[in-house]
Structure 1
């Protein structure tokens, strides 16, 4: 969750308040995945087949890069920039090893087993566990996922600092990474033909979860676009803001629907506070949509309709009475969300103050009839979805030489088949 503290002392009481900006920009702060301390040495594992000088250098570089990635991800204070730098350094090194094994399968014999262990960055921290696999592709997938969650962490830090434009760009990059995982890298793993038990992998390695995270980060980027518009001097385009906020609401609804439909088991592993925050974001953006529609109507001199919209915005922003009712979740029941309470109260108070001002002006000057409720035909049916994502691709690589000593290839076909399954192991966990 963002705890951005921007305040503008020059705003008048009837302008949109700073609390609206902060509420529009509330997002979840994900952790980055963590490789465990379990020893992984490519130099030792490929000691026999990797005697070529270039191959030896590559294996040493991969070992060092993975060590630095572990340090960056497990630091007491994680730096998004450092995590991404280390992940991007390690990615082509591990991918080169994978490619070298794929195109030289008879030579890809290990002196010792490689086992990769990672702790998820998206699952609830209270039940975090290490997931192990011998698949080199698993290590590559989690490295790419680390880049994606590192970008999301950078986006969150930028939003806290008030740089919403930079945050929006970082979310677009994060969305592109997760689209690549969902559409390209993870399907390649499944396409290897052997069964992959999703329960024994982090949620980052589930195709449906990757697809959902792509949608979530696109939506978070749109939230930052809303905040950027609200930060600009002068009167914003309230009609556009209403469409953007409705788009956020609809995309978050789609995110939840996608999880329930395609990734229900992974959804159960997520932090319950995160799911409450998503429910809050949906309710808040419903209220913001109605609020901005009200302001657009007032600007268009539809005073009665504006008052009806604003009144309904106030209702949408109330604390809900039950989990199935309309309104905002009770943030006082969730320790991680209590920091949002002052902004919720501030925005509610602003709506009531603005409503009293408009009602006074209408009763004194305009004398327009105020409908008891907003006519259904006046409400926006569809929001605007920006769907921003930046194309992500793996860095170009070339294989390194793997070579068994002379005579080592004299073994049975069954031995070869067993070794390839056990050593490369693209599917067994």
Structure 2
């Protein structure tokens, strides 16, 4: 594999035509979302459940929940976010808040609060996130699951930067599985049973169609890591397979955008516009790489004329587009998020031009195959390969703790209590 930005010559040999490191880096360009943040509003389960939560197990649970929630809040708001710490603290807290939720659900007559519980969170994917507050314990549980999912995605980007693409692929599979669980199971149940839940009063991640779209995005990102894993291995890669994988990434990224536009446009409008410029860049780079790898596969099979034509199309796909409606990549000099990609993009274009020149020379002097001005549709890949790697996520069963209402406390009808708890905790029957 050649060094980035340099093509070496050895005596009478031609230029090094192996794929450069810049191509690998561009193949695995991804966006890193923030993790959600717990608001500054003070909250204490121990104080709110001090009267009914005096039993040993209940007291231990609420004290531990307060401690771990505080640790999670610190992890999510640290100046330098450690995705490993965020994920670990979210995993510790989820069974605790789940147990508190279940305890209130199965003992509605005893679930009396001494202090109101107000859960405040800020989105991890919105451009300018506002603080969203709710009394629903289910809201706190949901945002903790979201935090674990975005924490795994953040871990994937860290592993990608470190060059551990296999680990990054596993992280993205886990993130995809978490958002699949949210989209298909958890969020539909909550929204259907919450009598006063408004999508406008929740972070974007609490919207099931957006969670479904994020699953698709993270599966595409995971496939990018799979491509990089192949490219860093010594020896000649399977170019035909890489062409299909890159086209599959393009298709999944396009599906992601279409899903947002169709089913989550209000949430889409809350996201950073530069993020969508990056997605457009990714789509066109992956399309260019798919053509590039297909061309190399055809050249190996001695289909030289078509290979030259497809490689030429690959270079066109990697050019800077003239307008938002034209083919090509966005201008990397106009979007701050894309500034760091300038050198790699220049180097990859140089490599493709060098390869194309070499092939054109060989074809004109040795193979003499005609090069079509337009590649016949039947010669292009019609469909990409989508691995759709997603690790199944399951919310572990929770154990309720005993909540005891002191003797002589004001008694209320079961129906009144049930209605109040349905609204406060959003906990309908399973």
TM-score, normalising length: structure 2: 0.95
Q: Does residue 120 of the first structure (1) align with residue 123 of the second (2)?
A: yes
Structure 2, unaligned stretches of length 5 or more?
Answer: 9-14
> Match of 1:410?
411
Tell me if structure 1 keeps the 8 A contact 2:108–2:417: no
> Match of 1:200?
201
Superposed counterparts of 1:349-388, under 5 Å: 349-388=350-389
CA drift at 1:192: 1.0
Structure 1 counterpart SS, 2:193: coil
Please list every run of at least 4 consecutive aligned residues from structure 1 whose deviation after the TM superposition is greater than 4 angstroms. Answer: 6-12, 412-415
Instruction: Give distance in 1, aligned partners of 2:266 and 2:413.
Output: 42
> Match of 2:11?
none
The CA deviation string for residues 353-401 of structure 1, in whole angstroms up to 9 with x for no partner, is 1111011111111111111111111111100000001111123321000
Count of residues in Structure 1 that have an aligned counterpart in Structure 2: 420
Which one of the candidate residues 41, 49, 53 is aligned to 1:38? 41
Instruction: Give distance in 2, aligned partners of 1:359 and 1:391.
Output: 49
Structure 1, unaligned stretches of length 5 or more?
Answer: 1-5
CA drift at 1:170: 0.6
Tell me if structure 2 keeps the 8 A contact 1:110–1:423: no
Structure 2 counterpart SS, 1:71: helix
Tell me if structure 2 keeps the 8 A contact 1:175–1:390: yes
> Match of 1:276?
277
Instruction: Give distance in 2, aligned partners of 1:398 and 1:100.
Output: 8
Instruction: Give distance in 2, aligned partners of 1:225 and 1:16.
Output: 16
> Match of 2:161?
160
> Match of 1:242?
243
Tell me if structure 1 keeps the 8 A contact 2:219–2:388: yes
Tell me if structure 1 keeps the 8 A contact 2:33–2:124: yes
Instruction: Give distance in 2, aligned partners of 1:425 and 1:14.
Output: 61
Structure 1 counterpart SS, 2:121: strand
The 10-residue stretch of structure 1 (346-355 or 216-225) with the greater mean CA deviation from structure 2:
346-355
CA drift at 1:194: 1.6
> Match of 1:3?
none
> Match of 2:258?
257
CA drift at 1:8: 10
Instruction: Give distance in 2, aligned partners of 1:175 and 1:407.
Output: 50
Instruction: Give distance in 2, aligned partners of 1:41 and 1:275.
Output: 39
Superposed counterparts of 1:91-102, under 5 Å: 91-102=94-105
Instruction: Give distance in 1, aligned partners of 2:182 and 2:88.
Output: 19
CA drift at 1:413: 5.7
Instruction: Give distance in 1, aligned partners of 2:343 and 2:199.
Output: 41
CA drift at 1:105: 1.1
The 10-residue stretch of structure 1 (11-20 or 234-243) with the greater mean CA deviation from structure 2:
11-20
Instruction: Give distance in 2, aligned partners of 1:137 and 1:158.
Output: 32
> Match of 2:90?
87
> Match of 1:296?
297
Tell me if structure 2 keeps the 8 A contact 1:94–1:136: yes
Tell me if structure 1 keeps the 8 A contact 2:168–2:225: yes
For the structure 1 residues 193 and 335, does the alpha-carbon distance in structure 2 shift closer, same or farther, using more than 3 Å as the test?
closer
Q: Does residue 103 of the first structure (1) align with residue 106 of the second (2)?
A: yes
The CA deviation string for residues 284-321 of structure 1, in whole angstroms up to 9 with x for no partner, is 01100110111011000011111000111111111111
Q: Does residue 16 of the first structure (1) align with residue 16 of the second (2)?
A: no
Tell me if structure 2 keeps the 8 A contact 1:113–1:423: no
Instruction: Give distance in 2, aligned partners of 1:20 and 1:72.
Output: 34
For the structure 1 residues 123 and 420, does the alpha-carbon distance in structure 2 shift closer, same or farther, using more than 3 Å as the test?
same
Structure 1 counterpart SS, 2:266: helix
Structure 2 counterpart SS, 1:132: strand
Tell me if structure 2 keeps the 8 A contact 1:148–1:173: yes
Tell me if structure 2 keeps the 8 A contact 1:80–1:153: yes
Instruction: Give distance in 1, aligned partners of 2:7 and 2:362.
Output: 23
Instruction: Give distance in 2, aligned partners of 1:157 and 1:253.
Output: 24
Instruction: Give distance in 1, aligned partners of 2:355 and 2:425.
Output: 65
CA drift at 1:409: 5.1
Structure 2 counterpart SS, 1:105: coil
Backbone CA RMSD of aligned residues: 1.7
The CA deviation string for residues 192-246 of structure 1, in whole angstroms up to 9 with x for no partner, is 1524211110011000111011110011000000011111111100000000000
The CA deviation string for residues 37-88 of structure 1, in whole angstroms up to 9 with x for no partner, is 2111001111111111110111000000100000100001000100011000
